[in-house]
Structure formats: C-alpha cells, structure tokens
Amino acid sequence: MNYLKNEFINAREEAFESGKIDRIRQNDGIYTPQMLRALKNMATNGVYPDGRFSDTDCNVWSMFR
C-alpha cells in the first residue's frame, strides 16, 4: 500500500514543479485535485500518513477517513 503514499508525494512534487505550490512557503492548505484524490485513496484504503506528510495533510486525510 506504499504506492498510495507515493501517489500523494508524486502529486505534491508535480504541484511544486508546475508552480501551483511554492516549494519554499509550501503553501500549506493548498491542494491540487490530484493531491486530494491521493489522500482520499489513502483514507479509503486505511493507509495512514507518515513523516513525509504535514499536519495539514494529516487533517485532510482525517476528514476523508
């Protein structure tokens, strides 16, 4: 199930690279549809966030859970 975590990490990297999220400021609380879908997939499948996820990411995951 680690692939579900990587789905979010990859979506976040794409958001950084495209400029939708600023890498320095992290724009905590700003999510692309792909990032939200990945968090939803994790929550639906009982895959818990780890240390690579921010507190806000965990809160969004919890809302889906």
Give the residue, 40 or 19, on which the prediction is more confident.
Answer: 40
Q: What is the arithmetic mean of pLDDT over 35-60?
A: 96
Residue 56 in contact with residue 8, Cβ under 8 Å?
no
Confidence class for position 28, pLDDT limits 50, 70, 90: confident
Q: Which long-range contacts (CB under 8 A, 24 or more apart) does 33-39 make?
A: 35/8, 35/11, 36/60, 37/11, 38/4, 38/7, 38/8, 38/11, 39/8, 39/64
User: What is the count of structural domains for the chain?
Assistant: 1
For the chain, what is the mean pLDDT?
93
pLDDT above 70: residue 21: yes
Confidence class for position 26, pLDDT limits 50, 70, 90: low
pTM to 2 decimal places: 0.89
> The domain containing residue 15 runs over which residues?
2-64
